[in-house]
Structure 1
Amino acid sequence: MLLFAEFTALIIGACIGLVMGLTGAGGGILAVPALVYSQGWSMQQAMPVALLAVTAGAVIGSIEGFSKGLVRYRAAIVMALAGAVPTWLGVQLAHRLSQTWLMGIFALVLLLAAVRLTMQLEQDEAGAEQKPTLARINQQTGRFDWNAGTGALIASIGGLAGLMTGLLGVGGGFIIVPMLRQFTNLSMHGAVATSLFFISLVGSMGVGSALMHGVQLPLVLSTVFVAATICGMLLARRLIGHLPARIVQKLFIALLCVVASSLIWRVVH
């Protein structure tokens, strides 16, 4: 039984890392239910293990992104700081809403993000230069041209991501990637790498807080799950360099639709 549990943790972890590495999101919302269903754990047992694995995978992905100059670290730090208070507010709001309402809200958010990204694919066909943006990457430096408007936009994205993180108990990648793509001229690969760095920052704080509050992690399964997630992440980061940005964006849209559909099914049934 233990060997079977370890094997399923290995497979699930690899899949989670692969999805995270390709899309910059999907870790938390996929890892928690996968652990609950495969291991027979409660949500309380699954969440810290999932958070540890997702954070470890995001750290590895961030390092790789930094090595290629894809991470916009100032933007990620601003988003993490701006999301701190909204995360707390989201947690408080979540306690006042039913599970059905929470799942319905999350499904709606995902579907809206998928629609926006689908529309953006059509806009990109006309050329990135024609796309209206609220914050722009300087083509000479490869960094954001920071001003009051850019700072307000990035902080707003972080605040919304933080609110959704607290409200729905998932990472902010599902919010950050589509919003960066919609309102800035950051490439899909850059948005994914920046999202992974954001997740590594927020996740590290979450893991540290959990450990300080005495959360006990199953050592063997946690080690297997974390190692598999890292391996999946490394594979994904190798693959993403050979995939066109449009393909990555289509994979992300498909993931959004699949997760939203599963949530709607659970609400209806």
Structure 2
Amino acid sequence: MWAVSLGLIIGLSLGLTGAGGGILAVPALMFGLGLTLPQAAPIALIAVGAAALVGVLQALRDGKVRYKAAAVMAVAGGITSPLGLWATHFADPYWLNICFAVVLFLVALRMWHQTRKQQSLPMNDTSPLPAKVCVLSPTSGKFIWTLATAITLAGIGAVAGFFTGLLGIGGGFIIVPALAYFSNAKMDNIVPTSLMVIALVSATTVVSAFSHGLAITAPQWLFISCTMLGMVGGRLIAPRIPAPLWQRLFAVVCTIVAVVLLAR
């Protein structure tokens, strides 16, 4: 029951936000299935990566994925994610748990601040938008590639990849706000592009984990399967749920999980 329910919730979260699955998958495995953080990280990556792949396949049909940008971020993340995984073998689990709780708090704060910012904007705001480093062409809807664009996207991917390996989180909590800050892309482009990066970087890290002797039990496989199923549901109902409502709920959940993690 724990594997099924937690898997569905994580997949649903990932499908709705493009950023929330991995950040909750690790504590879900720790609390629900009794794993330690180093044990939970690769299982979470398999679940989140597989679910993200399902979401990407859905979005590719609609032409929403900026796959060249995703490829640049994934290559950079694929280089740094094994470094993060390597660091887990030397880091004290106590400090890894604290680091994870801090990340949860920061994600919750960003989500809550984002909803307040959205509500404070006038309905008919015509003020000019600030200049962005990564710009989508108004005609093709694709990124206009410059050296600054490539460096910025590679930097986002590198940071996300390191945290993917270190904490077993998909990296979407870095990719989604970073793309929103550095580009003029809308969320219907950002979320599926983030999912593609998560799928590719997770695959690189998971291969490294299997090479170090990773073994998966039946309840863990059940968790992975239900996460993929939850992703399908999340992508289907995402257009029907107001973004601020879901973001605030997600922020509250992240805060509660962080407090419980620190209490342990």
**TM-score (norm. length: structure 2):** 0.84
Answering whether residue 243 of structure 2 is matched by residue 248 of structure 1, we say yes
Instruction: State the match for 1:47 in structure 2.
Output: 41
Aligned pairs, how many?
Answer: 259
Q: CA deviation at 1:186?
A: 1.0
Contact 1:135-1:150 at 8 Å conserved across structures: yes
Instruction: State the match for 1:10 in structure 2.
Output: 4
Distance in 2 (alpha carbons) for counterparts of 1:104 and 1:46: 15
2:228 pairs, out of 227, 230, 238, with: 230
User: Quick check: 145-154 or 13-22, which moved more?
Assistant: 145-154
Answering whether residue 110 of structure 2 is matched by residue 113 of structure 1, we say yes
Q: Aligned to 1:64, what secondary structure does the other structure show?
A: helix
Distance in 2 (alpha carbons) for counterparts of 1:129 and 1:64: 33
Contact 1:188-1:249 at 8 Å conserved across structures: no
Contact 2:44-2:169 at 8 Å conserved across structures: no
Which blocks of at least 5 consecutive residues in structure 2 are unaligned?
none
Q: Aligned to 1:130, what secondary structure does the other structure show?
A: coil
Instruction: State the match for 1:156 in structure 2.
Output: 155
Contact 1:106-1:168 at 8 Å conserved across structures: no
Q: CA deviation at 1:86?
A: 3.7
1:87 pairs, out of 70, 75, 81, with: 81
Residue correspondence of structure 1 range 1-269 to structure 2 within 5 A: 7-90=1-84, 95=90, 98-99=95-96, 101-103=98-100, 105-107=102-104, 109-110=106-107, 113-114=110-111, 117-118=114-115, 121=118, 122=120, 126=125, 130-218=129-217, 220-243=218-241, 247-248=242-243, 251-252=246-247, 254-256=249-251, 258-260=253-255, 262-264=257-259, 266-267=261-262
**TM-score (norm. length: structure 1):** 0.82
User: Quick check: 67-76 or 88-97, which moved more?
Assistant: 88-97
Cα RMSD (Å) of the superposition? 2.8
Once the two structures are superposed, residues 218-240 of structure 1 have per-residue CA deviations (whole angstroms, 9 ceiling, x without a partner) of: 1x323322221121111111112
Code of the aligned partner of 1:164: F
Q: CA deviation at 1:119?
A: 6.5
Once the two structures are superposed, residues 103-157 of structure 1 have per-residue CA deviations (whole angstroms, 9 ceiling, x without a partner) of: 4642464256336634652458525962432211112111111111211221121
Distance in 2 (alpha carbons) for counterparts of 1:223 and 1:267: 28
Distance in 2 (alpha carbons) for counterparts of 1:155 and 1:260: 30
Q: CA deviation at 1:184?
A: 0.9
Q: Aligned to 1:221, what secondary structure does the other structure show?
A: helix
User: Quick check: 29-38 or 250-259, which moved more?
Assistant: 250-259
Contact 1:162-1:172 at 8 Å conserved across structures: yes
Distance in 1 (alpha carbons) for counterparts of 2:253 and 2:166: 20
Q: CA deviation at 1:91?
A: 5.0
Distance in 1 (alpha carbons) for counterparts of 2:152 and 2:239: 28
Percent identity at matched positions? 35
Code of the aligned partner of 1:158: G
User: Quick check: 42-51 or 135-144, which moved more?
Assistant: 42-51
